[in-house]
Structure 1
Amino acid sequence: MRLIQITDCHLHADPEARSRTGIPCRQLERVVAAAAALRPDLVLVTGDVSEDRTAASYALAERCLSVLDRPWFWLPGNHDDPDLMSDCRPFHPEVELGDRRLLIVDTQWPGREGGRIGEARLKGLAERLAEDDRPILVAMHHPPLAVGSAWLDALGLADAEAFWETLADHEHVEAVFCGHIHQAFVGHGPAVAGAIPVYGCPASSDQFLPGSTDFSVDEASRPGFRVIDLHGDALTTWVERVDP
C-alpha cells in the first residue's frame, strides 16, 4: 500500500495569489500531478490548507486534490477554519490501511499558532489505540517534538509530553507524520514511548529554513510531498520534490 502526505498548501480564494516565493495554487497543482504519477492508494493532507480561511480556498483545494482520482483525507492546521473545511469535505478520525490503521489527531488550538490536543482528545486517542493491536500510524498537524528551529519549536505541540505518555502503553504505534514545519524532517519521540519515528514533510507552498533561530524562508528549496510505502511489516518513506 502506498500513502502520500501533502501538507501546508496555504491557498487563497484567488488562485493567482502569491506567497513569499511562488503561487501556492500552481505549486499544489504540480505536487498533486507528481503525487498522482506515483499511483498512491490514498492521500492525506496534514493541515494549513488555507491561508485566508475562506470557503473559496477550500473549494479550490478540493478541485486540485480531486485530480488524484484516489481517496484523500484532510485535517485542520492552525491557519484553517475547521467549520468551513468540514463543510467542504468531512473530517475522518481514522482511516483503514488493511493490516494497519491511520489515526488522525486534531491539534488545532483555537486562537493560537501553536498546537494542543487537550485532555478530551487525548482520552479519545487512548481509547482508539486500545481497540486492537494492528500497527498504527498517527497523523497530526503540529510536530510533537522539537525540530531544531527556535521560532518553530515555540509554536509546536504544547502538550507533547502528555501525547507521548498516551502512546507509551501502546507498542504497536509505528510512526507519527506531521505538517506545520514546511521542511523534510526525521526525528524520534522519547525513549519512554519507544523512540517512535516522527516524520515532517515539505510544504506544497513555501519552505522554511531548517535550523533557523528566527522565521526564515528557504528560497533554495522546492515544494514537495512525502511517500510512505507499507509492505508487510516494513515501512519505507522518502520525500519527493517538484519544480515550483
Structure 2
Amino acid sequence: MNRNIHIVQVSDCHVSAETGMTYRGQYPHKNLQAMMRQVEPRQPQLLLATGDLSEDGSRRSYQLLKEALQIPGVPILALPGNHDDPNLLAEMFPGSPVETIAVSDHGPWQIIRLNSCLPGRPEGFLGERSLADLEAHLSSAEQRPKLIAVHHQPVPVGNPWIDKYPLENATEFMRLADHYADVKVVTWGHIHHAFNAERNGTVLLGGPSSVINSLPNVQRFTADPAGPACRWLELKADGTLSTGILLAAAKTG
C-alpha cells in the first residue's frame, strides 16, 4: 500500500473581487484557472494554499478562489498572507490559522500551518501564542514527520526586493525547526519564485506564485518568462520527500 502523500502547493494567487483586475500586468483569476488545469490531472490528495490568496481581502475574492481551487474530494489547507484577511479566510476555508497553529494528520505525516500576518504590513511576525503553541506541540506530539507551512520566508532567499519583508522573528521560529528532528520540511510563499535549501536536516522550500514570478537573485522584481507556477510535493512514508515545480500552460496580460 502506497502511504505517500501527494500535495500541490499553490501560493500568492492575488485574486481580486473583480476578475478583470490585474496584478503586475497579469490577470490573477485567469492564471489561477490555467494553473489548476495543470494541477487536476496530477490527482493530488491535498492542496496547500500558502497565503496572499486574495489581493483585496474581500469575500468575493475568496469565493472566486475557492471555485478555482476546487477539485472534487481534495481538501484545501489554507493559511493567510499579508494581503489576506485572516478571519475571513478562516471563515471561507475552515481551519485556516488565525491566533494559533492549525494541525492536521495526513497518512504518516503531520502538517502544521501558521499565521504570520501583521495587519497593514508586508513583513511577517509569529505571535507569542503561535510560537508558544508550536513549541508545546513539537515537544509533546507523536514522533512523526512534520511539514510546517507559513507565508513569510524564515531565511533569506537572495532577492533583496522581497528579503526586506521577511518573517521578522525567524530566529525564534528556526530555533524550533532546528531543535526538533521530526520537522522535516518548512515551506512558504511570499517570495514569488521557487526556492530550495536544506538546514540541519530540514528541507526549506519557497513556493512560486500562480499569477506571476520573479527571476531569482535580482535586486528588483524581474518577471520570469516561464510564467505562473506551483510546487508539487510527494511526502514519503519514511520522512523524505520529492518535490518540483509545475508550470501553467498559459499566462495572461
Whether these two folds match at TM > 0.5 is yes
Matched, 1:183 2:193: yes
Which of 122, 144, 150 is the matching residue for 1:113?
A: 122
Work out the CA distance in 2 between the residues paired with 1:68 and 1:153: 37
2:231 maps to 1:226:
yes
The separation in 2 between residues aligned to 1:168 and 1:67, in whole angstroms, is: 35
For the pair 1:99 / 2:108, whether they are aligned, the reply is yes
Give the superposed CA RMSD. 1.4
The share of aligned pairs that are identical, in percent, is: 31
Instruction: Return 17-26 or 86-95, whichever deviates more.
Output: 86-95
- SS at 2:116 equivalent: coil
1:31 aligns with: 35
Determine the structure 2 residue equivalent to 1:171: 181
1:51 matched to which residue of 2?
Answer: 55
Q: Specify the alignment match of 2:202 in structure 1.
A: 196
Q: TM-score, normalised by structure 2?
A: 0.90
* Aligned-partner SS, 2:190: coil
Unpaired stretches in structure 2, ≥5 consecutive residues: 97-101
CA contact (8 A) 2:80 2:151 kept: yes
Number of aligned positions between the proteins: 239
TM-score (structure 1 length as normaliser): 0.93
Q: Which runs of 5+ in 1 are unaligned?
A: none
- Deviating 4+ runs (over 4 angstroms): none
Query: Does the aligned pair in 2 maintain the 1:36–1:68 contact within 8 Å?
Result: no
Q: Tell me the CA shift for residue 62 of structure 1.
A: 0.8
1:22 aligns with 2:26: yes
Q: Compared with structure 1, are the counterparts of its residues 219 and 186 closer, same or farther at alpha carbon in structure 2 (3 Å cutoff)?
A: closer
Deviating more after overlay: 60-69 vs 26-35? 60-69
Q: For residues 68 and 34 of structure 1, do their structure 2 counterparts lie closer, same or farther at Cα, with a shift above 3 Å needed?
A: farther
